[in-house]
Structure 1
Amino acid sequence: MSDDGPDWIALAARRAKGKRPDYFEDPAIDRILSIVMALVAEVSVLKQRQDTVERLLDAKGTISRADIEGFVADKDAAYERGVETKAYIARVMRGVSQAMDAMAVDEKPVEQVSRELKEL
């Protein structure tokens, strides 16, 4: 492994300035949410990379890593990826969206919605 380039482990451990926002009474829930959202982002990137591989294989029959790294989605592919990403995030966030919708209709206090989300 080369010593050239950034130290990705150190960069990943960096903290943003200021205090992290608290959304739930239990800080462990906030940490779990943070972990889940990081995983959601990673899966989204993997889905796009897989889409790249599939499109290149359809077009060329065989591909190299350079083909994957150099791929630029055309307008139609970018649109399809955007639609798929929005649908994916909507599926992941369904419980939160439902709780927010209920909060808007029922005007429940934030603490009650927080307790309900913990029970999901």
Structure 2
Amino acid sequence: MIPKQAKGKRPDYLDNTDNDKLLAIIMALAGEVSVLRERLDTIEKLVVAKGIISSEDIENYQPDAQLNEEREQWRADYLARILRAVQNS
């Protein structure tokens, strides 16, 4: 899925444009974390309730090298989206 990009000039909320950029980063992160936390909580509760895995299985899971690489790529893409306000200035 291609991330949506806002059209037009970014609105100014604070006296300093750097502070506006920092605020945009923080709010983007807050939104991402909020959605992620809620979805992850739902999934964990469902799989534990259905007896598919236990809470201990989740806590003790160790990903393999390929999954670690995939996660590193996701993190790089994620940070690029979060830092877009700074990088595009």
- What TM-score does the superposition give when structure 1 sets the normalisation length? 0.38
Higher relative contact order (CA 8 A, sep 6+): 2
- What TM-score does the superposition give when structure 2 sets the normalisation length? 0.49
User: Who wins on radius of gyration, i.e. which is larger?
Assistant: 1
